Structure 1
Amino acid sequence: MTQQNVLHAIQDFTNALGIDNVTISREQCNKFENTTFATNQKVQGVLYPNSKEQVQQCINIAYQYNIKLYPLSTGLNIGLGGTVPVESNSFILNLGKMNQIIEFNESLGYITIESGVTQIQVVEFLKSKNSNFILSPTGSLPETSIIGNAVERGDTRGAIPQRAESICNLGVVLPSGEYMEIGFGRFANAKCSGISKYGVGPDYTGLFTQSNFGIVVKLTLWLAPKAVNCDIILFTMET
């Protein structure tokens, strides 16, 4: 990666995303270089796409100029790296602006979201709908990403303790810039895409958890039914 390539890439990123969605400010980049432990990786710039099409454009530009991208949504992976990229001189692909709730089904208890949707956003949304379903939360901040937690196979609290086991219908942008949907979501008007974990043929969901094989830009999450009663039992054991 030469400095000439970086300059050309920045211009193309700006043309694709708009000047307000690309920053190379050292002050702004510094914010992504720090976490809870000492690091020395440097960030070249920060990109803020707001659609899967713009994510595809960013990947194509990065490939053209041999630019390294490091995707994140809210960047609140506290204690486990935060926003710091794996390799120095990467561009942060910040998916925080992709924060739409695409679909919600009260009857079947699922919600389809984009990468930047946070825990508190879903909680407030379900409250506004007076839903009979709840989100099993993590023990982290309300502003943390749901998809970030899911693809890292993070733990949650409540009725669904393993979030990665309660997802389906992933939408993924591949390193080639192509977009693919996993499960029945790839079929137009498929009515079971939000409730069936497996589609026709091999299931590729696991390839995109804890990996760098693609960027997950949307998925469907199964919600937990709201408990009618909640009893807390305390007990001790003598050893």
Structure 2
Amino acid sequence: MPVINIPIQSAIDEWTAVLGESGVSATDTADFGASTIGTKRSIPAVLHPTNQDQVAKVLQIAQRWQVPVYPVSTGNNWGYGSANPVEDGCVILNLSGLDRISDFDPEMGVVTIQPGVTQAALREFLDENEGDYLVPVTGAGPNCSLLGNALERGYGITPITDHFAAVTRITAVLPDGSLYQTSLTEQGGEEVDRLFKWGVGPYLDGLFSQGNFGVVVNMTIALAPAPETVTAFFFSTKDDAKLEALVPMVRSVLRALGGPVVAINLLNSRRMLSMMVPFPEDKAVDGILSDHEAQLLADTHGVPAWSGVGAIYATREVAKAAKRTLKRLLGPVTDRLVFIDKRRVNAARKLAKVVPQRWSTKITGMADTLSGALEIMHGRPNDVALALAYWRSGALPANGQPKNPARDGCGLIWFAPLVPIRGSDARRYVDMIERICPQYGVNPLITLTTINDRCFDSTVPLLFDRSDASSTARAQECYRALYEAGQKEGFLPYRLNIDAMEFAYPGDSQSAKFASQLKTAIDPNNILAPGRYVPRPKNPEAL
């Protein structure tokens, strides 16, 4: 049980008067302290507001007693800290009870959501309200917050790839409890404000993305309309040496088909194996599959050196033309290019019922995997990709229980650097990952996802045995080693975990000073998410 000091206890007493007994948890904070990155923070209490007014009163009380609070949407920030704050001693502000969906405009395709609205909740809402739009899904699972992901600048493979780019309007409670709204809304222009991202004057909404300047309680997002057809395409090359030729062709595809094809994933063989087979403990040495063992496993399961996946969102006529373009551009640099839609998946399921058992099991497994991928591409969330977190540790939940990697003991830290879409840069980057990860007992699983036609975001899951303190420490050391090597090579992360916030700014840079000046002006007592992205001023008097 955390030690409760006098200011915190006084604040808890006032918060209880506002939120009720059930709205304050001061003794049972273990669920919020679980984290896939292996870090444990001291959390004095968890607050559970259910509306905007309560959030404002919570912050006013926090200011009065100078008790730091750390807001989370659903707390499912797997691989980046889950619900843990950056610093010890912060009270968790659990916003999952703010789960209202409002102002849905089926004609314009915009909707307003609160922090507790999950991918699954929005999908259900749209289905019930004849909303023929795609949910901006991610691989994190159906129970994760849309608002939280957008504020962290998450992305997906559906048409609006950059999720913060889809944000058109933000309402936030500032650290003193006052309300932030955009100028257009304050002038009575709520309608146009929901339809136009930038408003008028300085773009202040951006401060709330990867910032600690306020608690976002409402966010309007633009949704991508469901297209006439969604066709997945898969391609591969058996020769690792073709990577340098494949990467610029991916860029060419995006430039030629920027409307129908919005994003492409490239995955190395180890990353593909992590999706297909249980981790072969008997073949690993110190938790690592040697290059020889990895190749044997890849050969056994027919896994190529590099696999790619994307989707065509278009009318039937445009989709036909897009397929021809994909064949022309990717054909010379790949060994295989196939197109899959729901009709073909259903045909595979029918085939599985009439072939011998040894083939039926394999075909059914393939159909299930493809079906999960297609659901994501159709803007329907599932937890298929979340199984990755369980590859090295943690037993998959039984009886259809939802996956929760933090609760289930999984060890996962995401390293997510940006990489230019150039063949030479991709090779330098892959060499860096493959050189460093095994030194720390981490298998080099690599995904390169196009953010636009110029830049990849690479997600490297540092998977480890969280029950082993040594394995946990080595994974954390691996992250630091990757960051330091990436800084030298020019591959810097776009998103940081709670133990890596020191990397947001370089030392005493002007950008760090500017961010700290803004924070000091808005939150002089530094009570809101201290240390999150914005550095503490080293010499407040100098500001």
Q: Normalized against structure 1, the TM-score is what?
A: 0.94
Q: Is the 8 A contact 1:183 1:198 kept in 2?
A: no
Tell me, in whole angstroms, the C-alpha distance in 2 between the residues paired with 1:238 and 1:165: 32
Larger Rg: 1 or 2?
2
Alignment of 1:1-239 (within 5 A): 3-25=5-27, 28-182=28-182, 184-188=184-188, 190-236=190-236, 237-238=333-334
Deviation at 1:37, TM superposition (A): 2.5
Tell me, in whole angstroms, the C-alpha distance in 2 between the residues paired with 1:92 and 1:234: 42
Tell me, in whole angstroms, the C-alpha distance in 2 between the residues paired with 1:193 and 1:111: 12
Q: Is the 8 A contact 1:152 1:210 kept in 2?
A: yes
Tell me, in whole angstroms, the C-alpha distance in 1 between the residues paired with 2:232 and 2:197: 33
Question: Which amino acid letter does the alignment assign opposite residue 72 of structure 1?
Answer: V
Aligned to 2:486: none
Tell me, in whole angstroms, the C-alpha distance in 2 between the residues paired with 1:183 and 1:126: 29
Number of equivalenced pairs? 236
Tell me, in whole angstroms, the C-alpha distance in 2 between the residues paired with 1:238 and 1:226: 30
Q: Is the 8 A contact 2:150 2:164 kept in 1?
A: yes
Deviation at 1:238, TM superposition (A): 4.4
Q: Deviations over 1:110-163 (max 9, x none)?
A: 110111111100001111122221212111110100110010001122101100
State the identity %.
Answer: 33
Q: Is the 8 A contact 2:70 2:93 kept in 1?
A: yes
What secondary structure does 1:231 align onto?
A: strand
Tell me, in whole angstroms, the C-alpha distance in 2 between the residues paired with 1:48 and 1:238: 52
Q: Is the 8 A contact 1:183 1:197 kept in 2?
A: no
Tell me, in whole angstroms, the C-alpha distance in 2 between the residues paired with 1:134 and 1:233: 19
Question: Which amino acid letter does the alignment assign opposite residue 110 of structure 1?
Answer: V
Deviation at 1:210, TM superposition (A): 0.4
Deviation at 1:186, TM superposition (A): 2.5
Q: Relative to structure 1, is the Cα distance of residues 194 and 55 closer, same or farther in structure 2, using a 3 angstrom cutoff?
A: same
User: Which deviates more, 2-11 or 97-106?
Assistant: 2-11
Deviation at 1:230, TM superposition (A): 2.1
Tell me, in whole angstroms, the C-alpha distance in 2 between the residues paired with 1:107 and 1:74: 29
Deviation at 1:24, TM superposition (A): 0.6
Unpaired stretches in structure 2, ≥5 consecutive residues: 237-332, 336-543
Q: Is the 8 A contact 1:139 1:157 kept in 2?
A: no
What secondary structure does 2:230 align onto?
A: coil
Tell me, in whole angstroms, the C-alpha distance in 2 between the residues paired with 1:36 and 1:48: 23
Q: Deviations over 1:4-47 (max 9, x none)?
A: 1111111100011111111112xx21221120132231100000
Tell me, in whole angstroms, the C-alpha distance in 1 between the residues paired with 2:83 and 2:63: 22
Q: Relative to structure 1, is the Cα distance of residues 90 and 229 closer, same or farther in structure 2, using a 3 angstrom cutoff?
A: same
Question: Which amino acid letter does the alignment assign opposite residue 22 of structure 2?
Answer: D
Tell me, in whole angstroms, the C-alpha distance in 1 between the residues paired with 2:89 and 2:233: 52
Tell me, in whole angstroms, the C-alpha distance in 2 between the residues paired with 1:193 and 1:179: 17
Q: Relative to structure 1, is the Cα distance of residues 108 and 183 closer, same or farther in structure 2, using a 3 angstrom cutoff?
A: farther
Tell me, in whole angstroms, the C-alpha distance in 2 between the residues paired with 1:238 and 1:232: 16
Q: Deviations over 1:44-79 (max 9, x none)?
A: 000011111111101110111110101001100011
Tell me, in whole angstroms, the C-alpha distance in 2 between the residues paired with 1:56 and 1:48: 13
Please state which structure has a larger fraction of its residues in helix: 2
Tell me, in whole angstroms, the C-alpha distance in 2 between the residues paired with 1:74 and 1:94: 7
What secondary structure does 2:44 align onto?
A: strand
Aligned to 2:413: none
Tell me, in whole angstroms, the C-alpha distance in 2 between the residues paired with 1:56 and 1:173: 6
Deviation at 1:166, TM superposition (A): 0.6
Tell me, in whole angstroms, the C-alpha distance in 2 between the residues paired with 1:198 and 1:165: 10
Q: Is the 8 A contact 1:99 1:117 kept in 2?
A: yes
Deviation at 1:223, TM superposition (A): 0.3
What secondary structure does 2:195 align onto?
A: coil
Tell me, in whole angstroms, the C-alpha distance in 2 between the residues paired with 1:234 and 1:37: 32
Deviation at 1:182, TM superposition (A): 2.3
Tell me, in whole angstroms, the C-alpha distance in 2 between the residues paired with 1:232 and 1:6: 53
Deviation at 1:232, TM superposition (A): 3.2
Q: Is the 8 A contact 2:39 2:81 kept in 1?
A: no
Q: Is the 8 A contact 2:135 2:223 kept in 1?
A: yes
Unpaired stretches in structure 1, ≥5 consecutive residues: none
**RMSD after superposition:** 1.6
